[in-house]
Amino acid sequence: MENTEIARVFEEIADMLEISGGNSYKIRAYKHAALNIRELSKDLKDIYMGDEKNLRAIPGVGEHIAKKITELLETGKVKKHQELLKKISPQLLELMRVSGIGPKHLRVLHDKLKVNNLDDLEEACLGHKVRDLEGFGEKTEEKILVAVEEFRHFDKRMKLEPAEQCARAIIRHLKESKVKIDRIEAGGSLRRGRETIGDIDILVSTDKPEKVTERFISYPEAETVIASGPSKSSIFIKSGVQIDLRVVRDESFGAALVYFTGSKAHNVHIRKIAKFKGLKINEYGVFKGDKSIAGKEEEDIYRSIGLRYMPPEIREDRGEIEASSLNKLPELIELKDIKGDLHLHTDASDGRQTIVQMAEASRERGLKYIAITEHSKAVRVAHGLDEKELFRHIKKIERVDKKIEGIRILKGVEVDIGKDGALDLDDSLLKEMDVVIAAVHFRFDLDREKMTLRLLKAMENRYVNILAHPTGRLIGERKPSEIDFEVIFEEAASRNVAMELNAHYDKLDLNDIHCRQAKEFGVKVVISTDAHFVDGLDYMKYGITTARRGWLEKKDVLNTLECGEFLKSIKRS
């Protein structure tokens, strides 16, 4: 089982305990363990290595949870989960994934309206039965209906991180075979780095297609074999994901990789160019008549029709082909360009590790500086700090910074933006910070005009350097706030306020479209992980992927600068 699947089991145990009124301590323990497991950068099976004690090094995993992880890794099931599923149906549990439906709401809906599944919930809302329940109301009913529609849209799609984990596992399974594989790579929307993924495409070149296919369909997590053949096979794995395998000869690998990476619009466009030149492109190569003139490498495919190689992330037919033909493709940012991470939390607020641990882990990853940015007092659910607590905390940051060599630790804060745009900390404290990031954490549902004015007001404060996760979205869970980005970007450019691209795969906010728009307005971007423990630092790669999709270059991203240059760049006049 993969990390995300194990985390989901523990989340479901916590949810079912909460729905049935279980012990609050146990509920928190399961949720805490699930969160930490989901954010691990290393596969649990590689940590476990047959020894349960190894699992206890994971934050939030004690003896009790470690035994259940072992049970899952060795059997694919856990007794506690199976027992709870006999009392609470999977269809009812699924409703916990609908935005706005918590365990208390779900219990009321189930007890009062006999809601047992998504269709029941939708029918109850359409029949205006939900609004009359205690704790709901007309607006809540309307929001639930919208959330149901969004859930139906996203339900069959994975976020970037779990999709990558899934692809990595199947590639490892194939590579561990004794059959010789020349090349293997994930394709499709995963290779292009889209924020949500439908099916996973794996491309292999080998001269033993039957053997590779046999290995593929014997994948331990395979639940159903949809199709099996020497060139194409498909399986559903236990988590409900479809994985497609394409097998080609090595001389066609480049052509197949272009074809199966997509996007469809990009491929249609290059086929039109090829046709105009008297050529034909398909998954086997580029042909002039019956003669193959390119196929083994992707670069050869594009070169054959007069184009430069285009990185997979920008193959969306959004101008990349025209830019390629004019030799004006951007030099896209790379992970190695990042020198600092400007949005980190520690155990002083809702993080799970210390300043020292976060700093040392950042240094190990090659970073030159970080900013510790705890929540301010308004975000009580995240243990936000009041003025006195925050003042003591920044003094602690100063002390730790003096002790740790090889990395600079900046004093920062994630200050909350109120409904009216006011910040919940006084300027006398904000001016003590090296970095101030301002963020919205409640009332995401304001209309476009009010939300825009709210952010504009926040940016007026001379101490604000970065606007964090501007739309507040959670992919597949919470809609992005409606914002007039043209107005926001104009103001940000004039006031020297940077926009954050929050790299957590749940957020990726700014998205790729807004990154490109920010660039056009001359607004600088900061790519930050919003890490709450050390493995969260590895989410930077998802931010880089999104930045590349948004055509961002090293010069567009402030935390590619050395620390001194970065601090100069964020100064407000």
Please state which of the ranges 4-13, 119-128, 416-425 shows the lowest mean pLDDT. 4-13
Segment 556-567, tens digit of pLDDT:
999 999 999 999
Banded model confidence at residue 429, pLDDT cuts 50, 70, 90: very high
CATH code (residue 32): 1.10.150.110
Check residue 286 and give its pLDDT. 96
Classify residue 79 by burial, with Cβ atoms within 10 Å: 0-12, 13-18, 19+.
exposed
CATH code (residue 221): 3.30.460.10
Question: Is 565 contained in some domain?
Answer: yes
Check residue 151 and give its pLDDT. 80
Backbone angles phi, psi at 15, to 5 degrees: -65, -45
| Whether residue 278 sits in one domain with residue 229 | no
Check residue 154 and give its pLDDT. 66
Give Cβ neighbours of residue 22 (< 8 Å, ≥ 6 apart): 16
Domain end marker among 117, 152, 187:
152
Residue-number span of the structural domain to which 371 is assigned: 335-569
Would you say residue 380 has pLDDT above 80?
Answer: no
Question: Is 422 contained in some domain?
Answer: yes
Residue 314 neighbours by CB distance under 10 Å: 26
Domain end marker among 137, 152, 167:
152
Q: What six digits make up the tokens of 563? A: 């620390």
Contact (Cβ atoms closer than 8 angstroms) between residue 78 and residue 71: yes
Distance CA 519, CA 558 (A): 12
| Whether residue 375 sits in one domain with residue 310 | no
CATH code (residue 271): 3.30.210.10
Please state which of the ranges 40-44, 160-164, 467-471, 525-529 shows the lowest mean pLDDT. 40-44
Would you say residue 367 has pLDDT above 90?
Answer: yes
Distance CA 9, CA 229 (A): 33
Q: Tell which wins on pLDDT, 554 or 350.
A: 554
Q: What six digits make up the tokens of 400? A: 């730790």
Instruction: Enter the pTM of the model.
Output: 0.84
Specify whether the backbone of 319 is left (phi greater than 0), alpha (psi in -120 to 50) or beta. left
Backbone angles phi, psi at 127, to 5 degrees: -85, 5
Q: What six digits make up the tokens of 506? A: 């749940």
Q: What average pLDDT does the structure give for the chain?
A: 93
Q: How many domains does the chain have?
A: 4
Distance CA 22, CA 41 (A): 31
Distance CA 115, CA 141 (A): 14
Three-state SS sequence of 352-399: CCCHHHHHHHHHHCCCCEEEEEEEECCCHHHCCECHHHHHHHHHHHHH
| Whether residue 281 sits in one domain with residue 180 | no
| Whether residue 556 sits in one domain with residue 471 | yes
Question: Is 348 contained in some domain?
Answer: yes
- Taking alpha carbons only, the member of 568, 565, 541, 548 closest to residue 338 is 541
Segment 104-122, tens digit of pLDDT:
889 899 989 999 999 999 9
Contact (Cβ atoms closer than 8 angstroms) between residue 259 and residue 280: no
Domain end marker among 132, 152, 172:
152
Max distance between CA atoms of the chain, in angstroms, equals: 77
Would you say residue 552 has pLDDT above 90?
Answer: yes
| Whether residue 394 sits in one domain with residue 498 | yes
Question: Is 254 contained in some domain?
Answer: no
| Whether residue 163 sits in one domain with residue 143 | no
Segment 55-96, tens digit of pLDDT:
988 877 888 899 999 999 888 889 999 999 888 888 888 888
Would you say residue 5 has pLDDT above 70?
Answer: yes
Would you say residue 320 has pLDDT above 80?
Answer: yes
Q: What six digits make up the tokens of 498? A: 């940077």
Q: Would you call 313 helix, strand, or coil by DSSP?
A: helix
**What is the 8-class DSSP label of residue 63?**
H
Q: Which residues pair with 498 in a beta bridge?
A: 466
Q: What six digits make up the tokens of 285? A: 């190569």
Distance CA 128, CA 138 (A): 8
Distance CA 452, CA 106 (A): 33
Give Cβ neighbours of residue 277 (< 8 Å, ≥ 6 apart): 305, 306
Q: Would you call 416 helix, strand, or coil by DSSP?
A: strand
Distance CA 205, CA 252 (A): 8
| Whether residue 509 sits in one domain with residue 413 | yes
Check residue 155 and give its pLDDT. 63
* Percent of the chain whose predicted confidence (pLDDT) is above 70: 99
Would you say residue 329 has pLDDT above 80?
Answer: yes
CA torsion 281-286-290-293 (nearest 10°) is 170
| Whether residue 369 sits in one domain with residue 474 | yes
- Is the peptide bond preceding residue 569 cis, with omega within 30 degrees of 0? no
CATH code (residue 347): 3.20.20.140
**Mean pLDDT score, 432-460:** 95
Backbone angles phi, psi at 525, to 5 degrees: -115, 145
Question: Is 253 contained in some domain?
Answer: no
Rg (CA), the chain: 25
Q: Tell which wins on pLDDT, 101 or 357.
A: 357
- Strand ranges, E, within 242-318: 242-248, 280-282, 285-288, 291-294
| Whether residue 317 sits in one domain with residue 182 | no
Would you say residue 153 has pLDDT above 80?
Answer: no
Check residue 452 and give its pLDDT. 97
Of these ranges, 4-18, 106-120, 227-241, 453-467, the one predicted with the greatest mean pLDDT is 453-467
Check residue 50 and give its pLDDT. 85
Distance CA 389, CA 254 (A): 57
| Whether residue 232 sits in one domain with residue 364 | no
**What is the 8-class DSSP label of residue 97?**
G
- Taking alpha carbons only, the member of 517, 519, 529, 521 closest to residue 555 is 519
Question: Is 330 contained in some domain?
Answer: no
Segment 471-517, tens digit of pLDDT:
999 998 888 999 999 999 999 999 999 999 999 999 999 999 999 99
Question: Is 449 contained in some domain?
Answer: yes
**Mean pLDDT score, 208-231:** 93
- Taking alpha carbons only, the member of 215, 208, 160 closest to residue 186 is 160
**Mean pLDDT score, 331-353:** 95
What are the C-alpha distances in Å from 39 to residues 4, 7, 33, 77?
9, 9, 10, 21
| Whether residue 228 sits in one domain with residue 174 | yes
Distance CA 19, CA 84 (A): 11
Check residue 39 and give its pLDDT. 76
Three-state SS sequence of 240-255: CCEEEEEEECHHHHHH
| Whether residue 551 sits in one domain with residue 456 | yes
Classify residue 480 by burial, with Cβ atoms within 10 Å: 0-12, 13-18, 19+.
middle
Question: Is 369 contained in some domain?
Answer: yes
Which amino acid is residue 164, in one-letter code?
Answer: E
